[in-house]
Homo-oligomer: A and B are copies of this chain.
């Protein structure tokens, strides 16, 4: 059994977070909420999303897995206006997800989850941590896109830094401790990442909302942020690009 009512924006938020990595996702449903874990086809990035049952206006669920076409679900959410609540219900007999938006009933076919692997979140020992405002970070990323396809992130005890270098041009964003929400770094740590992936990872976070970055040396990065008024949480992992010299 799965029967839930929620603001359409929150479902749109789930799609924004997962769809840059995968077209289809396995929604793991329990009595406590929904979680999604997905790895992109190139195995460069992983998303781990949790949405608690407290994010819902109504929520009743047994344990189950639903295989969902994210594009299709996105199209359905576009039928709802901002502020509209929708209901979602699993119909076991027909193996369909029934979405109700006002007087509209949309029955959606599901994807077999048998072919969808269960990814494990690898344990990472990342020594440094910085909490940055989304607006600052996204300005740095947009600037970097014009000069290169990869960027370096580094953290030391005084600042968080983003750096990108092209043939003739460079981008440098240095945020001193005073402009960070949090900073912890026992030394200097630096890794290189694909701008495309990193840009998609931070895009769902808006304005002055905080993004937590955990980083090591030539190690994956871990990016964390909340959504759905803290009833939801997202963790991204992104593999580093190793500088060939």
Contact = CB atoms under 8 A, between A and B. Distances in A.
A172 B134 CA distance: 40
Interface string A136-150: 100110110010000
B105 A171 contact: yes
A207 interface: no
A131 to B, nearest CB: 16
Interface residues of A, number: 31
Copies of this chain: 3
Interface stretch (A6-14, A55-63, A71-79, A222-230): A71-79
Contacts of A104: 139-140, 143, 171-173
A135 to B, nearest CB: 10
A195 interface: no
Which of A76, A101, A168 has the largest number of chain B CB atoms within 10 A?
Answer: A168
13 contacts: A72-B146, A78-B142, A79-B139, A102-B139, A103-B173, A104-B140, A104-B143, A104-B172, A104-B173, A105-B170, A106-B143, A106-B172, A108-B168
